[in-house]
């Protein structure tokens, strides 16, 4: 069992996403001691942004790729190999300006590649994700609360995007734990954090 944490908070000190992901993983490992854990910290080490040369290398058939093109894609290949090895994926994702951190978008731009993580069917003009048999958990901290179905929920371009992109990659089993009211202080933050931790402890058993 390989568990990959993809962490996208730019903060180390005081990061709610990091603290709650760590709590989940600690409890997960106590229930699943055979787990191999690996951290991909895109918040600290942002993946290289893709470029025109990257795009050209990506669409060049493997047998025609130059050494330079292989070098350009090396980071992407490494990130994909790591992702393919994972059975369980935990995403620590702060909401930044109603969306995901740019760091995480850079990660997805590197790992979403036809023939590697998704297939494209020309006849039906449709994609199918190759990351089947994997499960994902999104832990998303934010200052507000954006429960699905509420007025504020319509402003959440973070988790609906993540759910879509994980499904697009073939990961259908996606759990989501919202950690609202972070940084607001007081009873509401305390209560929301405790509720999120309790849910994560439940999920760690499954």
Ligand X SMILES: Cc1cc2nc3c(=O)[nH]c(=O)nc-3n(C[C@H](O)[C@H](O)[C@H](O)COP(=O)(O)O)c2cc1C
Instruction: Give the binding range for ligand X (CB under 6 A) out of 69-77, 140-148, 185-193, 194-202.
Output: 140-148
**Smallest Cα–Cα separation from 9: which of 38, 41, 40?**
41
**What tokens appear for 68 in the block?**
């330079």
CB of residue 194 vs ligand X: minimum separation in angstroms? 15
d(CA 112, CA 120): 12
Q: Is 97 in the site for ligand X (CB under 6 A)?
A: yes
Instruction: Give the binding range for ligand X (CB under 6 A) out of 9-17, 60-68, 103-111, 112-120.
Output: 9-17
Contact 87, 1 (CB under 8 A): yes
Return the residue of 141, 177, 199, 204 that touches ligand X, per CB under 6 A. Answer: 141
CB of residue 26 vs ligand X: minimum separation in angstroms? 17
Does residue 189 sit in helix, strand or coil? helix
Q: Is 153 in the site for ligand X (CB under 6 A)?
A: no
Return the residue of 71, 143, 154, 188 that touches ligand X, per CB under 6 A. Answer: 143
d(CA 44, CA 10): 6
d(CA 27, CA 139): 15
Q: Is 188 in the site for ligand X (CB under 6 A)?
A: no
């Amino acid at each position: 069992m390989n568990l990959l944490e993809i962490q996208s908070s730019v903060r180390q000190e005081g990061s709610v996403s990091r603290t709650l992901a760590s709590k989940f993983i600690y409890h997960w490992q106590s229930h699943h001691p055979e787990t191999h854990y690996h951290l991909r910290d895109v918040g600290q080490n942002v993946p290289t942004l893709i470029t025109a040369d990257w795009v050209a290398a990506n669409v060049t058939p493997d047998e025609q790729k130059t050494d330079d093109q292989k070098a350009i894609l090396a980071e992407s290949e490494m990130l994909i190999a790591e992702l393919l090895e994972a059975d369980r994926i935990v995403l620590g994702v702060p909401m930044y300006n109603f969306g995901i951190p740019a760091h995480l978008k850079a990660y997805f731009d590197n790992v979403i590649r036809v023939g590697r993580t998704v297939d494209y069917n020309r006849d039906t003009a449709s994609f199918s994700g190759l990351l089947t048999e994997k499960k994902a958990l999104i832990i998303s901290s934010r200052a507000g609360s954006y429960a699905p179905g509420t007025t504020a929920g319509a402003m959440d371009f973070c988790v609906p995007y993540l759910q879509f992109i994980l499904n697009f990659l073939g990961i259908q089993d996606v759990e989501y734990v919202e950690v609202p009211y972070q940084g607001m202080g007081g009873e509401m933050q305390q209560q929301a954090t405790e509720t999120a931790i309790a849910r994560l402890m439940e999920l760690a058993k499954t």
